Structure 1
């Protein structure tokens, strides 16, 4: 027998047990507390079921039940979505520092290359300057810049929706790696497409989408189950960025290269993770 976990919530135990049986994982629920302080433990019969059982335990559906037990979803999320919250708060702080992109001199501190502002003229540097001066943080920081309140709110809602899912299912380190790598890759994609004055988490958001969809496609047991209509909406929005639609509705230009490269990077990170961890599992078994 292998202990999966314990909780005081009868509702949470029932939900986990239901999902374990649905996945055909034999287990036993043992009550170890008292009437005044109830406590239930979940034990697995087979050790080989542990990885899938942990996925079920950390799944968004299970966490939704956990959130409802005495704490609001917002308060509960502070414990299981720390990395997601960290980047959301950081983006908000950067928006305050840059006055949502209005303070050009401050935006220049976060741009992918150094930008000298002389009156109404921008004199951008190059990546050679970034590497020669050791300002490697510039490869990431454009993702923290947002131009206008609507841009910030729209992106943070998606970071919250997608980021916390990855953090819940695969942990803080996996989210941090996906976010950091895709931000750098999508920023470089936009730079090589000819832009130096850009920003936003959109490239990372599309990376999250690509990562989760492909991870589910490559997995025997889907972890994220992103609704088809949501994937369709995001892809349609990606396509609309290449038209004049966003300017027509007042959103201005879109960093299309960052979106596209971000999506591709998310797919690539998922495939790479699958190859690395699948090979590791095979090595351990053999």
Structure 2
């Protein structure tokens, strides 16, 4: 990997604290005197941008002894990452508990209390209520809880992995409260979008929330670049391509099950809007 310049600073700048921080984070680097300046070299331009962001926030280093792992997260043990992303971990834990209680989407007696609208099964047929009747009975939690329902192990695994990846980024950049607010907002928007498009139906999963998180990171990063929201190359293209493929109806045609495409689109558009607002605010305050 090609070495890149992360920082160029005057010789009188004290870098000892910041160098100690890089050493604790196990970031490979070297400092050289070149042209009357201190030059900090690291491996690769992506890492160089992360180090510049780190220096902008903590030029004196880890002064309080409690700095979060912002660089080279792949080297951080899973348990440490769980402690540093408590809201992300809690959301996944709740999702796993619901998955167990609903027997991987087979226990309709449990699913009935979490679906967007109430329903009952008679003679092998499912009969769903309308939203106004459901809300009239005070069951407002249904506006959010479908995001916790998953139908099958593959459905759960894919959504959990992506929430772990995107949720940690947002929790690091905007805090646990920020991630919680966005998760609830995207869940609400995607559920309403699916109901508006398809009417009373049985749907669930975190995928609408995931597309919201994706859109948020995407637009926010375009307006206010930061290491946390810089997604790996090809991720955005892959996710949008997957959305487009799902919207063709090919999975329904192959009898793989219905896809809640409206929830995906609703989540994505809402995420782009929050990313636009958040990015503009961060850019103005920079």
- Normalising by structure 1, what TM-score? 0.76
**Following TM superposition, by how much is the alpha carbon of 1:251 offset from its aligned partner in structure 2, in angstroms?**
3.6
Query: Is the Cα–Cα contact under 8 Å of residues 105 and 111 in structure 2 kept in the other structure?
Result: yes
Q: Across the two proteins, how many residue pairs are aligned to each other? A: 251
In the alignment, is residue 136 of structure 1 matched against residue 140 of structure 2?
Answer: yes
Residues of 1 paired with 2:51 and 2:154: CA distance? 44
Counterpart in the other structure of 1:203: 208
Residues of 2 paired with 1:139 and 1:7: CA distance? 48
Structure 2: 5+ residue stretches without partners: 1-13, 30-39, 43-47
Which of 77, 86, 93 in structure 2 is aligned with 1:89?
93
Which of 245, 270, 275 in structure 2 is aligned with 1:270?
275
**Following TM superposition, by how much is the alpha carbon of 1:64 offset from its aligned partner in structure 2, in angstroms?**
4.2
SS in 2 for 1:209: helix
Counterpart in the other structure of 1:41: 63
Query: Is the Cα–Cα contact under 8 Å of residues 186 and 209 in structure 2 kept in the other structure?
Result: yes
**Following TM superposition, by how much is the alpha carbon of 1:116 offset from its aligned partner in structure 2, in angstroms?**
2.1
Structure 1: 5+ residue stretches without partners: 30-39, 44-56, 68-72
Structure (1 or 2) with the greater helix fraction: 1
Structure 1 stretch 76-85 or stretch 267-276: which is displaced more? 267-276
Which of 2, 10, 17 in structure 1 is aligned with 2:23?
10
Q: In the TM superposition, what are the counterparts of 1:113-152 in structure 2 within 5 Å?
A: 113-152=117-156
- Normalising by structure 2, what TM-score? 0.76
Residues of 1 paired with 2:134 and 2:144: CA distance? 12
Q: 1:14 to 1:122 in 2, by over 3 A?
A: closer
Residues of 2 paired with 1:59 and 1:237: CA distance? 32
Structure 1 residues 44-75: Cα deviation after superposition (integer angstroms, max 9, x where no partner) = xxxxxxxxxxxxx657535445x2xxxxx211
Residues of 1 paired with 2:79 and 2:169: CA distance? 16
Q: In the TM superposition, what are the counterparts of 1:42-81 in structure 2 within 5 Å?
A: 60-65=70-75, 67=76, 73-81=77-85
**Following TM superposition, by how much is the alpha carbon of 1:268 offset from its aligned partner in structure 2, in angstroms?**
1.0
Query: Is the Cα–Cα contact under 8 Å of residues 15 and 62 in structure 1 kept in the other structure?
Result: no
Q: In the TM superposition, what are the counterparts of 1:153-172 in structure 2 within 5 Å?
A: 153-172=157-176
Residues of 1 paired with 2:20 and 2:138: CA distance? 49
Which of 59, 65, 76 in structure 2 is aligned with 1:27?
59
Which of 261, 264, 286 in structure 2 is aligned with 1:259?
264
**Following TM superposition, by how much is the alpha carbon of 1:131 offset from its aligned partner in structure 2, in angstroms?**
2.8
Counterpart in the other structure of 2:231: 226
**Following TM superposition, by how much is the alpha carbon of 1:278 offset from its aligned partner in structure 2, in angstroms?**
6.1
Q: 1:171 to 1:191 in 2, by over 3 A?
A: same
Query: Is the Cα–Cα contact under 8 Å of residues 187 and 258 in structure 1 kept in the other structure?
Result: yes
Which of 203, 208, 217 in structure 2 is aligned with 1:212?
217
Residues of 2 paired with 1:21 and 1:121: CA distance? 58
Aligned residues: CA RMSD: 3.3
**Following TM superposition, by how much is the alpha carbon of 1:243 offset from its aligned partner in structure 2, in angstroms?**
2.4
